[in-house]
């Protein structure tokens, strides 16, 4: 049932925002004397396969983040306690917090400190590179998109049969037991011991996974009214096929749910004072600001003293050195994001695969063939991470990194449709069309076949695909 109520984890989001300050002493990089430690780096990589390209992109993003924080300190850009508290309140009301952060916090893959660091980085980035007048103009042009959506707080009971759900409902209605007592006694949900409560959850959060449930909690049910049993079907992910064969499907699991609404709030029109952080969070992804921020970060890199120590990522040193000798490089801006939605990559991470016209593409992060990194960047002690985690020649290949197809592309502004008959998910992102079929190791992007590292999987009610599909469509790099 957890898949019904909680959107799939965005692996891309984990890889950078959950990089808490490490206590390891061995440096992976230095940024103007500030050390990025092995612990910092490998915590940032904990959610995916640390292949060379992704690891280099992650490290480059960490360098960019550190430069932004240093620039804010140098220019005396500050965040007051009042601003931080208000920003945190706004963030907790945003859809991205419920889809990304709540699952991470519940799974202990992130902490409240990580949330605060993400908020601070957004504020510093906006204050450094976008004027208040520009932010307010962006808000006025998109005011209705920043309205706070209607929200509900619910409590639910999940059981295996309709008869059991009906019996529990009759017992509650007869006042032989309370809903809360039945949650703890009968529910098979993972959070039953904590009372089965969830929320506040914004309107639309359940629509893509269960429209009937969405309608019940936002429209049909009165407060504290016990719902009729609602059926939910959970399809287990296909078993991987052997020797390149297609995945083998497993049987679906059906559960029955009783739900009651504890609290419901109406949509609230936005004002600048109640939405300024949400405006910042969205504005930094708009093409006109994103490109400006990317160029400014490139300037910071060119002016900084940056050393990357592992030879595996020595090409980053070449990239940073080139910025000292040339015009600031221009990172490709992402496709336009609708206010109220999020882009998964912040400035400083890997640029989009497809850069805008007349834009110089970023320097590749893969080390050039037969290129030996400068001797001065080699630390006296070899970092332990790559040596311990790199598989031997005899080891099996690393498991491909998978991401939820719908949420990853909807975050970019795409519309996604699902065909149950063909078991095909289709995304439309501007003039780009992407199709994936469950069990197939190939995706179709604009009519062209793209081979995936693993077949598309159906996990619960979500289609999961390997990283390269999202990278091909746009910027699928982790957030810093």
Give the pair of three-digit tokens for residue 64. Answer: 């960019």
In a domain, 2, yes or no: no
Whether 45 has a pLDDT exceeding 70, the answer reads no
pLDDT of residue 350: 33
Whether 345 has a pLDDT exceeding 80, the answer reads no
Give the pair of three-digit tokens for residue 140. Answer: 């006025």
> Are residues 280 and 239 both part of a single domain?
no
> Are residues 261 and 279 both part of a single domain?
no
Whether 354 has a pLDDT exceeding 90, the answer reads no
pLDDT of residue 222: 94
| Residue where a domain stops, chosen among 197, 231, 265 | 265
> Are residues 65 and 103 both part of a single domain?
yes
* Spatial separation of the C-alpha atoms in residues 62 and 57, rounded to whole Å: 9
pLDDT of residue 212: 87
What are 123-159's pLDDT values in tens digits? 999 999 999 999 999 999 999 889 888 989 999 999 9
> Are residues 174 and 110 both part of a single domain?
no
* Spatial separation of the C-alpha atoms in residues 101 and 179, rounded to whole Å: 28
In a domain, 478, yes or no: no
With a pLDDT cut of 70, the percent of the chain lying above it is 69
Cis peptide before 200 (omega within 30 of 0): yes
> Are residues 180 and 255 both part of a single domain?
yes
Most confident of 38-42, 110-114, 295-299: 295-299
Tell me which of 5 and 469 has the higher pLDDT. Answer: 469
Q: How many domains does the chain have?
A: 3
> Are residues 48 and 139 both part of a single domain?
yes
Whether 363 has a pLDDT exceeding 50, the answer reads no
Tell me which of 365 and 77 has the higher pLDDT. Answer: 77
Tell me which of 178 and 200 has the higher pLDDT. Answer: 178
In a domain, 222, yes or no: yes
pLDDT of residue 127: 96
| Residue where a domain stops, chosen among 265, 296, 328 | 265
In a domain, 395, yes or no: no
Write the DSSP symbol of residue 220. Answer: I
> Are residues 324 and 220 both part of a single domain?
no
pLDDT of residue 474: 57
pLDDT of residue 68: 95
pLDDT of residue 378: 42
Tell me the average pLDDT across 356-370. Answer: 40
In a domain, 103, yes or no: yes
> Are residues 462 and 342 both part of a single domain?
no
> Are residues 96 and 16 both part of a single domain?
yes
- H helices of 45-100, in order, are 52-74, 81-92, 95-96
Q: What is the CATH number of the domain that holds 232?
A: 3.10.50.40
> Whose CA is closest to 54, among 45, 63, 46?
45
Tell me the average pLDDT across 202-218. Answer: 82
> Are residues 325 and 422 both part of a single domain?
no
pLDDT of residue 248: 53
pLDDT of residue 73: 95
Whether 338 has a pLDDT exceeding 60, the answer reads no
What are 60-91's pLDDT values in tens digits? 888 999 999 999 999 999 999 999 999 999 99
Write the DSSP symbol of residue 100. Answer: I
Tell me which of 70 and 47 has the higher pLDDT. Answer: 70
Whether 349 has a pLDDT exceeding 50, the answer reads no
Give the pair of three-digit tokens for residue 297. Answer: 């970060």
* Spatial separation of the C-alpha atoms in residues 98 and 225, rounded to whole Å: 24
In a domain, 20, yes or no: yes
In a domain, 99, yes or no: yes
Tell me the average pLDDT across 445-451. Answer: 77
Whether 322 has a pLDDT exceeding 80, the answer reads yes
In a domain, 479, yes or no: no
> Are residues 352 and 209 both part of a single domain?
no
What are 290-318's pLDDT values in tens digits? 889 989 999 999 999 999 998 888 888 98
> Are residues 114 and 259 both part of a single domain?
no
pTM for the full model? 0.52
Pick from 130-144, 353-367, 370-384: least confident: 353-367
| Residue where a domain stops, chosen among 389, 416, 451 | 389
* Spatial separation of the C-alpha atoms in residues 471 and 388, rounded to whole Å: 28
Q: What is the CATH number of the domain that holds 414?
A: 3.30.457.10
Q: Which domain does 440 fall in, by range?
A: 402-473
* Spatial separation of the C-alpha atoms in residues 66 and 58, rounded to whole Å: 13
């Amino acid at each position: 049932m957890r898949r019904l109520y909680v959107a799939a984890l965005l692996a891309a989001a984990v890889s950078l925002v959950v990089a808490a300050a490490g206590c390891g002493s061995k440096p992976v990089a230095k940024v103007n004397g500030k050390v990025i430690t092995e612990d910092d780096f490998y915590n940032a990589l904990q959610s995916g396969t640390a292949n060379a390209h992704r690891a280099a992109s992650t490290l480059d993003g960490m360098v960019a983040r550190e430069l932004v924080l240093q620039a804010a300190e140098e220019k005396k850009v500050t965040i007051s306690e009042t601003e931080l508290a208000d920003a945190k309140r706004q963030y907790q009301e945003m859809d991205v917090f419920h889809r990304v952060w709540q699952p991470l916090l519940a799974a202990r893959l992130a902490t409240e400190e990580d949330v605060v660091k993400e908020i601070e980085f957004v504020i510093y980035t906006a204050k450094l590179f976008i004027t208040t007048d520009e932010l307010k103009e962006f808000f006025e042009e998109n005011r209705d998109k920043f309205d706070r959506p209607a929200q509900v707080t619910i409590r639910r009971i999940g059981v295996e049969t309709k008869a059991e759900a009906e019996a529990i409902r009759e017992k509650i209605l007869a006042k032989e037991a309370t809903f809360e007592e039945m949650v703890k006694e009968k529910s098979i949900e993972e959070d039953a011991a904590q009372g089965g409560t969830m929320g506040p959850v914004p309107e639309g959060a359940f629509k893509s996974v269960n429209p009937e449930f969405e309608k019940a909690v936002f429209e049909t049910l009165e407060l504290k009214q016990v719902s009729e049993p609602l059926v939910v079907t959970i399809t287990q992910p296909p078993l991987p096929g052997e020797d390149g064969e297609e995945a083998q499907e497993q049987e679906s699991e059906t559960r029955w749910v009783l739900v009651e609404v504890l609290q419901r709030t109406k949509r609230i029109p936005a004002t600048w004072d109640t939405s300024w952080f949400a405006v910042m969070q969205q504005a930094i992804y708009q093409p006109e600001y994103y490109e400006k921020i990317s160029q400014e970060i490139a300037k910071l890199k060119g002016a900084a003293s940056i050393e990357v120590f592992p030879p595996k990522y020595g090409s980053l040193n070449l990239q940073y050195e080139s910025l000292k000798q040339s015009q600031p490089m221009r990172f490709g801006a992402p496709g336009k994001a609708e206010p109220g939605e999020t882009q998964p990559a912040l400035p400083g991470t890997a640029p989009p695969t497809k850069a805008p016209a007349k834009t110089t593409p970023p320097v590749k992060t893969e080390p050039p063939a037969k290129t030996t990194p400068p001797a001065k960047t080699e630390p006296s002690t070899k970092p332990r991470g790559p040596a311990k985690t790199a598989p031997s020649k005899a080891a099996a290949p690393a498991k491909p990194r998978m991401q939820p197809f719908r949420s990853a592309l909807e975050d970019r502004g795409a519309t996604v449709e699902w065909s149950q008959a063909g078991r095909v998910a289709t995304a439309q992102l501007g003039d780009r069309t992407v199709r994936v079929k469950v069990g197939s190791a190939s995706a179709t992007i604009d009519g062209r076949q793209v081979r995936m590292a693993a077949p598309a999987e159906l996990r619960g009610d979500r289609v999961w695909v390997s990283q390269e599909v999202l990278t091909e469509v746009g910027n699928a790099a982790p957030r810093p």
